[in-house]
Amino acid sequence: MKDYILKFWQGLITIIIGMRVTFRHLFVPAVTIQYPTVKPELPERERNRLYVNMDDCIGCDQCARACPVDCIQIETVKSVPGDDLGVTSNGKKKALWVTKFDIDIAKCCYCQLCVFPCPTDCIYMTDVYEFSEFERENLVYDFVTLTEEEKIEKKKNHEEFMIKKEVEKAAAAKKKAEEEAAKKKENGDQPGEKPPDNKE
Amino acid sequence: MTTYDIIFYLFALVTLLSAFFVVTNRNIVHSAFYLLFTFFGVAGIYVMLGADFVAVVQLIVYVGGILILLLFGVMLTNKITNVDIKSGTIHALPASIVLGLFAGALAAAVLNTKWKIVASPETSSSTVSLGNMLINEYALIFELLGIVLLIALIGAASMARR
Amino acid sequence: MIYDWLHNITGSAIAAAIIQSLLPLFIFILPFALFAVLLERKVSGHMQDRLGPMRVGYHGILQTIADIIKLIQKEDIVAAENDRRFFDLSPILVFAGSYAAFAAIPFSGAFIGSNIDLGIVYIVAVTGLVVAGILMGGWASNNKYSLLGAMRAAAQIISYEIPTLLIVVTVIMITGTMNLFTISEWQTQYFWNWLILGGPVFGTAKILLIPLMVISFLIIFLSTLAEVNRTPFDIPEAESELVSGYHTEYSGMKFAMFFLAEYANMFAVSAIVATLFFGGFQSPIGYLGNVFGVKWLIPIEQFFWFTAKGLFFVFVQMWLRWTLPRFRVDQLMAFCWKYLIPFAFVILILVGLITVLL
């Protein structure tokens, strides 16, 4: 009987204590952040969406090689003499046309390993973290600043330059061969001597 | 036809229709649910007769108690909820003869009784007079009924314990 | 009285009766439900150090209206295996049961739906309709969660009706009437005349009654809380076990009916507790209308006090909801049968002795 009354009494008291706690919490300022209108304060070294400043990119491919999940894909085309590619912000001369710089942010694991090798600090993490998309393809970001025509043009330029170079090389080799042949004639026949290897 | 009549016939209709469904329905749970409306209609008729306390008790005991118990029984009993009640007609001839006789007797009784027709008094609460009667005049019967119910309770408990 | 006034305006008793019977719904329950849903969400939010709805309107005050618009738009889904007839009937029955209780609740000195002598007993009786409606909905849903929820609800409501009725009988013994209007009138004017403080009759009886009345108030508050299936007694719709109990299968407006009935019930039981123990519509500190000699102000003040008391108890219900965890079924039944009912019986006997002897 005593136990019974005691239980009842304890139940009552504990309920009142609990109610006091909840009532106090009624006046505790809410911890809610009104998210889309009020953004939470991010930590200083937060890692979010990658961004590439193409003005500074020299197309060195180091970030792509550092990436553990291979989410960066870079294709480059060599410039031809006379192309003005400009200079990066820390004074490096650019030598490659970047025709493809895709980051598949859906694959990205936000490890920031791509950021450190970059010689020009052009790839870095921004504070943007709201980039959801309806289509997965939209998460592949294309950073290339060149237009399609320009890309084709650069490629053509490079190919033409290569052909030209090849032709020049061939011509140079031919000339050399002719010269050597002429020399040989001058020096008379010397058996066993072979033509230079770099021919062909 | 006054408002009173309309309401009375409404309740009577509810009672009769739902009672009809209770009897004819093949699904036992449906029958139990229709019983709710029967009880409710009866309570309404009690109110129309000025017996408000009886009506409320009807609701408390029958709707709030017995019907719920009935539903529990029906729902919790295994293999009863989906069983069709076989209500086919057998012995049509003798049954209709007996039924006709009984109906005739009832009709005769209804028609031949001299019903007391009193101008309905202004309905007032019957609770006080009912309470007085239960405690004074019919105290013994009241207590005996209480004992009967108590015995039923004890019996049920002892059966459940076994 | 509002009825006489309506009778004068419309010139017809039936029209006046119909209008009067619709008044609580349109001027009270619907706005109250709109307000209470918001209050519930705000109170829950702030008790958990959140903010609650903030988007729709200033601090989310239009949130419930947006919810209702959403509910109206929703498709009324009826599964193929549902028992169509009873499935449709159940929300109506549940709402009718909880709305019928409002007929006997005195909102103010000038407005009570029906001033019947049975008042409080009538309210207990029509609650039975809610139980039947819940069982019907649970069974017609043809869903094990719904059926279990309905079973639990019915068992719980009929069990907790016993302590409620015992305390109601106690109150009836003190006041000598079941009429809620008379009970309210009886606890006149000032707060020391309220029944929780022993009623308006001074003497030894009043002193003796105070502790008993405090305990009976606790008992009836808890048992009515259980009757409306609120936390900590919400095992019929325990979300973590039963999805949402007997209204799992309901959608759209039918669900809204259940919802409305729940909030109407919440206010009904708060109003009953307020009427029985806290003076009903009586002001605790006297009336401005009496001070300034403006008679028509008094019913309005009474309505204000009634609503304030009712809302306070609704708030306490929400408060308890975020304080206590849910009971287990056996604890629920033990609490009713081993604690509430014996205490209620003891109080019944003691109060009977006090009223007879003193």
The tens digit of pLDDT for each residue in C122-137 reads 888 888 788 888 888 8
All residues of chain C having their beta carbon less than 8 Å from the beta carbon of residue A3 are: none
**Alpha carbons B81 and B31: distance in angstroms, whole number:** 11
Backbone angles phi, psi at A75, to 5 degrees: -125, 140
Share of chain C above pLDDT 90, in %: 0
CA angle C240, C244, C249 (to 5 degrees): 140
Amino acid at B65: G
Tell me how far the alpha carbon of residue C121 is from its chain's centroid. 14
- Reference C272, options C316, C211, C300, C313; nearest CA is C313
Would you put residue C111 in left (φ > 0), alpha (ψ -120 to 50) or beta?
Answer: beta
Which residues have a Cβ under 8 Å from the Cβ of B111 and sit 6 or more positions away? Answer: none
Domain for residue B104, yes or no? no
Q: Do C319 and A23 touch (CB under 8 A)?
A: yes
Residue pLDDT, tens place only, C179-228: 888 888 887 777 777 777 777 777 777 788 888 888 888 888 888 888 88
Q: Mark yes or no for CB contact C324/A15 under 8 Å.
A: yes
Length of chain A: 200
Catalogue the long-range contacts made by A131-135 (C-beta closer than 8 Å, 24 or more residues apart): A131/A49, A131/A105
Q: How many domains does chain B have?
A: 2
The nearest CA of chain A is from the CA of C263 a distance in Å of 22
Q: Are residues A106 and A17 in the same domain?
A: no
Distance CA A187, CA B50 (A): 147
pLDDT at A197 over 60: no
Judge whether A50 and A114 are in contact, CB under 8 Å.
yes
- Cβ-defined contact of C324 to A18 (cutoff 8 Å): yes
- pLDDT, one tens digit per residue, over B40-92 is 888 888 888 777 788 888 888 888 778 888 888 777 765 555 565 566 667 88
Q: What is the mean pLDDT of residues C300-315?
A: 86
CA angle, residues A156, A161, A167, in degrees to nearest 5: 125
Contact at 8 Å (CB) between A101 and A52? Answer: yes
A and B in touch (3+ CB pairs within 8 angstroms): no
Determine whether the interchain pair C132/B36 forms a contact, defined as Cβ–Cβ distance below 8 Å.
Answer: yes
Residue C165 has pLDDT above 80, yes or no: yes
Domain-located, residue A155: no
Q: For residue A148, give Cα distances in angstroms to A21, A49, A59, C18, C121.
A: 66, 25, 18, 77, 85
Mean pLDDT, chain C, integer:
82
Q: Report the alpha-carbon distance of residue A188 to residue A79 in Å, rounded.
A: 45
Residue A192 located in a structural domain: no
Chain B positions touching C122 (Cβ under 8 A) are 56
B101 located within any domain: no
**Residues A156-180: tens digit of each pLDDT:** 888 888 888 888 888 888 888 888 8
Minimum CA–CA partner of C127 in chain B: B64
Domain membership flag for residue B19: yes
The span from the CA of C340 to the CA of C218, in Å, is 9
Residues C258, C91: Cα–Cα separation, whole Å: 6
B24 and B76 assigned to the same domain: yes
Q: Using the beta-carbon criterion (under 8 Å), do C47 and A12 form an inter-chain contact?
A: no
Question: At residue A93, does pLDDT exceed 90?
Answer: no
pLDDT at B155 > cutoff 60: yes
Task: Assess contact for C314 and C270: CB atoms under 8 A.
Answer: yes
Q: Which residues of A touch C (CB under 8 A)?
A: 8, 12, 15, 18-19, 21-23, 25-32, 34
Last residue of a domain, one of B84, B104, B139: B84
The answer to whether residue C156 scores a pLDDT higher than 90 is no
Query: When comparing pLDDT for C198 and C302, which is higher?
Result: C302
Taking CA atoms, A111 is separated from A45, A68, A69, C16, C334, in Å, by 12, 9, 10, 75, 57
| B118 located within any domain | no
Same domain, B2 and B80: yes
Range of the domain at A86: 50-150
Adjacent-strand bridge partners of A141: A103
Domain carrying residue B138: 127-162
| Residue A142 three-state SS | strand
Give pairs for C297-300: CB < 8 Å, separation 24+: C298/C109, C299/C108, C299/C109, C299/C110, C299/C111, C300/C108
Are B73 and B145 in a shared domain? no
pLDDT at residue C192 in the model:
76
C32 vs C287, more confident: C32
ipTM for this model: 0.77
Does any CB of chain B come closer than 8 Å to the CB of residue C356? Answer: no
Match 């020009």 to its residue by tokens. Answer: A120
Report the SS3 class of residue A96: strand
The segment with the largest mean pLDDT, out of A102-106, A118-122, B103-107, C204-208, is: B103-107
Whether the CB-CB separation of C109 and B116 falls below 8 Å is answered with no
Question: Given a contact as 3+ CB pairs under 8 Å, which chains touch C?
Answer: A, B
A200: pLDDT strictly greater than 50: no
For A40, phi and psi rounded to 5 degrees?
-65, 150
Nearest to B121 by CA among B129, B131, B109: B129
Q: Of C49, C320, C322, which has the smallest distance from its Cβ to A31's Cβ?
A: C49
Q: How far is CA B88 from each of CA B39, B79, B82, B91, rounded to the nearest angstrom?
A: 26, 21, 17, 10
**Of A104, A118, A139, A132, nearest to A54 (Cα)?**
A118
Mark A159-168 as b/e (b = at least 16 C-beta within 10 Å). eebeeeeeee
By a Cβ cutoff of 8 Å, what residues of chain C touch chain A? 43, 45-51, 54, 218, 319-320, 322-324, 339, 343
Chains with at least 3 CB pairs less than 8 angstroms from chain B: C
B22 or B98, higher pLDDT = B98
Per-residue pLDDT, B148: 94
Q: Do A26 and A65 sit in the same domain of this protein?
A: no
Rounded to whole angstroms, the Cα distance separating C32 from C35 reads 5
On whether both A70 and A145 belong to a single domain, the answer is yes
> What are the C-alpha distances in Å from A128 to residues A39, A42, A44, A122, C246?
11, 10, 13, 17, 46
Whether residue A187 lies inside any domain: the answer is no
Confirm if C100 and C126 have CB atoms less than 8 A apart: yes
Of C247 and B111, more confident:
B111
When scoring C48, C216, C217 by the number of chain A Cβ atoms within 10 A, the one with the most, hence best to mutate, is C48
Mutate to test the interface with C, among A5, A22, A37 (most CBs of C within 10 A): A22
CATH number of the domain encompassing residue B53: 1.20.120.1200
Distance CA C31, CA C267 (A): 12
pLDDT digits over B120-135, tens only? 666 666 777 888 888 8
Residues A64, A141, single domain; the answer is yes
pTM value is 0.77
Strand partners for A100: A75
Tell me: do A57 and A9 sit in the same domain: no
Count how many pairs of residues, chain A against chain C, have C-beta atoms within 8 Å: 41
Residue A118 banded pLDDT, cuts 50, 70, 90: confident
Whether residue A135 is predicted with pLDDT greater than 90 in this model: the reply is no
What are the Cα distances from residue A170, in Å, to A165, A176, A177, A183, B50? 8, 10, 10, 19, 123
- Return the percentage of chain B with pLDDT > 70, whole number: 87
The answer on B66 and B136 residing in a single domain is no
Residues A54 and A146 in one domain: yes
Domain count, chain A: 2
Mutation site for C-interface testing, chosen from B69, B127, B153 by largest number of C Cβ within 10 Å: B127
Average pLDDT score over residue span C74-100: 84
What CATH number does the domain containing A110 carry? 3.30.70.3270
Residues of C in contact with A29 (CB under 8 A): 49
Q: What is the reported pLDDT for C9? A: 75
Residue percentage of chain B with pLDDT more than 90: 17
What pLDDT does residue B113 have?
84
Residues of chain C in contact with residue B33, where contact means CB-CB under 8 angstroms, are 86, 132, 136, 139
Backbone angles phi and psi of B115, in degrees to 5: -70, 135
Distance of CA C195 to the CA centre of its chain: 19
Check pLDDT > 70 for residue C74: yes
**Mean pLDDT computed over A33-60:** 83
A17 and A64 within one domain:
no
Are the Cβ atoms of C117 and B125 closer than 8 angstroms?
yes
Q: Between the CA of residue C34 and those of A154, B13, C41, C313, what are the distances in Å? A: 67, 37, 11, 17
Tell whether the torsion through CA atoms of C28, C30, C35 and C41 is positive or negative: positive
Last residue of a domain, one of A106, A129, A150: A150
A21 shares a domain with A85: no
pLDDT tens profile B6-24 = 888 888 998 999 998 888 8
Q: Say yes or no: A102 and A17 in one domain.
A: no
Amino acid identity of residue C232, one-letter, is P
What is the pLDDT at residue A196? 52
Going from the C-alpha of A13 to that of each of A26, C231, C234, C319, C351, the distances in angstroms are 20, 18, 22, 16, 25
- A145 and A74 within one domain: yes
Of B62-71, C7-16, C253-262, which range is least confident?
Answer: C7-16
pLDDT, greater one: A115 or B128: A115
Residue A191 scores a pLDDT above 80: no
The two tokens of residue A161 are 């330059």
Mean pLDDT of C48-64: 82
Task: For chain C, give every domain's residue range.
Answer: 1-73, 75-357
Model pLDDT, residue A199: 47
Beta strand A50-52 pairing with A72-78? unpaired
- What distance in Å separates residue C146's CA from the closest CA in chain B? 13
CB A114 within 8 A of CB A121: no
Picking from A191-200, B77-86, C285-294, which range would have the lowest pLDDT averaged per residue? A191-200
Q: Could you give the 3-state DSSP secondary structure of residue C194? A: coil
The pLDDT assigned to C230 comes to: 80
Q: Is C176 on the interface with B (CB under 8 A)?
A: no
Residue A174 lies in a domain: no
Q: What is the average per-residue pLDDT within A59-67?
A: 86
Highest mean pLDDT among B38-47, B109-118, C71-80: B38-47
Asked if A25 and C48 come within 8 Å (Cβ–Cβ), the reply is: yes
B119 in a structural domain: no
Q: Identify the residue with better confidence: B124 or C40.
A: C40
Domain annotation covers residue B10: yes
Predicted local distance difference test score (pLDDT) of residue B105: 94
Question: Taking CA atoms, what residue in A is nearest to C335?
Answer: A8
CB atoms within 10 A of CB A157: 18
Residue B155 lies in a domain: yes
The Cα–Cα gap between C346 and C352 comes to: 10
Q: C112: closest CA among C262, C91, C122?
A: C122
Span of B25-29, B158-162, C60-64, C129-133 with lowest mean pLDDT: B25-29
Do B77 and B11 belong together in one domain? yes
Q: Of A29-38, A84-93, C167-176, C337-346, where does mean pLDDT reach its minimum?
A: A84-93
Q: Is the pLDDT of residue B150 over 50?
A: yes
For position A171, what pLDDT does the model report?
86
DSSP calls for B91-156: SHHHHHHHHHHHHHHHHHHHHHS-----PPPPP---HHHHHHIIIIITHHHHHHHHHHHHHHHHHH
Q: Rounded to whole angstroms, what are the CA distances from C108 to A151, C276, C307, C312?
A: 84, 14, 9, 17
* Whole-angstrom distance, CA of residue C180 vs CA of residue C103: 11
